[in-house]
Amino acid sequence: MLAGSLVKELSPLPESYLSNKRNVLNVYFVKVAWAWTFCLLLPFIALTNYHLTGKAGLVLRRLSTLLVGTAIWYVCTAIFSNIEHYTGSCYQSPALEGERKEHRSKQQCHGEGGFWHGFDISGHSFLLAFCALMIVEEMAVLHEVKTDRNHRLHTAITTLVVALGFLTFIWVWMFLCTAIYFHNLSQKVFGTLFGLLGWYGTYGCWYLKSFSPGLPPQSSSLNLKQDTYKK
C-alpha cells in the first residue's frame, strides 16, 4: 500500500485498463470480494475441519468465522459510508466548483448530477487486505490434512486450494492497483488499518478464547502460532 501510494504521488503511471473502475477484475471480483471469499472458504473450512475432527458441532463452530467476517464487512462499510456522508458536500463539478448546499446526501447529490466529495476511506484497501489475510489463516490447516487414502476428498480440497490461491493472487494484485491508481494516502492507510484490525482482532485475539469460533485445527507441533499470538 505504501509503495503503491508513493508511485501514485511521486511518479504517477499513465492510465491503463486497470485504472478504469469498470475493468473485469474490479466489476466481477473486487466489487463482490466478500461473496467470492465466503463461497470458497465455506466448503474449504467444512471439508478440512470435518476431515480432521469428525465433529459436526466443531465444524459449525468454525464456519461461524464466516458470519463474523460478514459482520465485520457490513459494519466497516457502514462506518465508511457514514464518514463520507458527514464529511462531504455536493459540488457542481469534480473540480469542487460551485457547492450545492441544498443537497445533503450523496445519493441526492448524484441524482441531481452533482459530485459528492468527502473523506472516502478506501473500501477496497480494507476488504482486499481482510479477505487475503483470512484466506491465508484458514489455509494454514493444510499442514494437517492428509487425503492420500480418499481420492474424492483429495480432488475436492486440491480444487478449493487452487481456487483460493488464485483468488488471493487477485486480491493482492488489485490491492496494489488500488494503491497505485485510486484514493489518497490517508484514505488507503485508514482502509488498510481497518482490514488489519479486523484480521488481528479475530485471529490474533478473540479466536484464541474458548468462547469464539476458534482457530483452524492444529496439532501440538503447530500450537507455536497460538503461543506467539498470546505473547
Q: What is the pLDDT along the chain (231 residues), one digit of tens a residue?
A: 888 888 888 888 888 898 898 999 999 999 999 999 999 999 999 999 998 888 999 999 999 999 999 999 999 999 999 999 999 888 887 777 777 777 778 888 888 888 888 899 999 999 999 999 999 999 999 888 876 677 888 899 999 999 999 999 999 999 999 999 999 999 999 999 999 999 999 999 999 998 999 999 876 444 544 455 555
Name the residue among 38, 42, 53 with its Cα closest to residue 218. 53
- Alpha-carbon Rg for the chain, nearest whole angstrom, is 21
Q: Which three cell numbers stand for residue 93?
A: 463539478
In a domain, 4, yes or no: no
In a domain, 180, yes or no: yes
CB-based contacts of 164, cutoff 8 Å, min separation 6: 40, 41, 44, 135, 139
Dihedral (CA of 154, 156, 160, 163) sign: positive
Question: How far is it, in rounded angstroms, from Cα 83 to Cα 104?
Answer: 14
In a domain, 67, yes or no: yes
How many C-beta atoms lie closer than 10 Å to residue 165's C-beta?
12
- Could you tell me the residue range of the domain that residue 141 belongs to? 21-229
pLDDT at 60 (0 to 100): 96
The one-letter code for the residue type at 136 is: V
- Of 103, 151, 154, 183, the active-site residue reads 183
pTM of the model as a whole: 0.88
The number of folded domains in the chain is 1
In a domain, 1, yes or no: no
Question: How far is it, in rounded angstroms, from Cα 62 to Cα 205?
Answer: 15
Q: Is residue 43 a contact partner of residue 160, using CB atoms and an 8 Å limit?
A: yes
| Residue carrying C-alpha cell 469534480 | 94
Based on the residue annotation, tell me whether 103 is a catalytic residue of this protein: no
In a domain, 44, yes or no: yes
pLDDT at 227 (0 to 100): 53
171 CB-contact burial (10 Å; exposed 0-12 / middle 13-18 / buried 19+): buried
In a domain, 100, yes or no: yes
Question: How far is it, in rounded angstroms, from Cα 45 to Cα 131?
Answer: 15
In a domain, 133, yes or no: yes
pLDDT at 228 (0 to 100): 55
In a domain, 113, yes or no: yes
Name the residue among 128, 133, 103 with its Cα closest to residue 118. 103
- Of 85, 103, 117, 124, the active-site residue reads 124
